[in-house]
Amino acid sequence: VLVGVPLGSIAAFKRGTIVDDIIIVFSTCGIAIPSFVICTILMYVLSLKLGLLPTHGIAEWRSYILPVVTLAAGGSAQLMRLTRTTMLEAIRQDFMRTAKAKGCTPACMVWKHALKNALLPVLTVMGTSFGSILGGAVICETVFAIPGLGNYILTAIRSKDIPVVMSSTVFLSAFFCLVMVVVDILYAVIDPRIREKVVK
């Protein structure tokens, strides 16, 4: 979210420039390349060749960089493209011309007016992509040898420990449902029209 939404907004506002082209190429690569390929490339370049980051475990703060980048790459790329599309639609609306006529700065027009109206589809994708991040954590924890819930589930599957697999699946499903409830609440926070319908 911290990478995809701002870059998507910048790409929409700089539409047709070299900045927009670079962001589109980056987002396309992030969507097209699977997470296990990204983590392998990052480990080879940053850990084995350059020696900047550790390859496994979570002994220090640097150990979190590779797993987090691996899990966030696909989601941020998807949010980039969606934010760019919804922002382009919002920029063409009448209220943007009104804001410009009233003397709003370009930054105010983008972050205060356009982004707020373009966030609802982005919020939906944020909630649903959370499930893919939970699934990707299993692969990520296995590759980076992190003792987490995903690695625990994978070990239980291999050893045919059915109660652990079932309880972990129910826990992750309940957690995903909770995230979707939070997303629905955020709809009402962002869009006053939805808030008025809820109050009525």
Residue type, 61: W
- What is the CB neighbour count within 10 angstroms for residue 172? 18
Burial of 136 (0-12, 13-18, 19+ CB in 10 A): buried
The overall average pLDDT reported for the chain is 80
Task: Name the H helices within the chain.
Answer: 4-13, 18-32, 35-42, 65-91, 94-101, 106-108, 115-143, 149-158, 162-190, 192-199
Dihedral sign for Cα atoms in the order 73, 75, 76, 80 = positive
pLDDT of residue 192: 65
**Rounded mean pLDDT, 84-107:** 78
pLDDT in tens, 41-80: 888 888 888 878 887 777 788 788 888 888 888 788 888 8
Query: Would you state the structure tokens that stand for residue 157, as one six-digit string?
Result: 């599957």
Instruction: Report how far residue 190's alpha carbon sits from residue 178's, in angstroms, rounded to the nearest whole number.
Output: 19
User: Rounded to whole angstroms, how far apart are CA atoms 100 and 198?
Assistant: 32
Amino acid at 174: A
Whole-number pLDDT of residue 195: 60
C-beta separation of 98 from 85 below 8 A: no
Q: Is the pLDDT of residue 94 over 60?
A: yes
**62: Cβ–Cβ under 8 A, 6 or more apart, which residues?**
52, 53, 54
pLDDT computed for residue 103 by the predictor: 79
Average pLDDT over residues 102-113: 74
The arithmetic mean of pLDDT across residues 77-105, rounded, is 81
pLDDT band (50, 70, 90) for residue 173:
confident
pLDDT at 199: 53
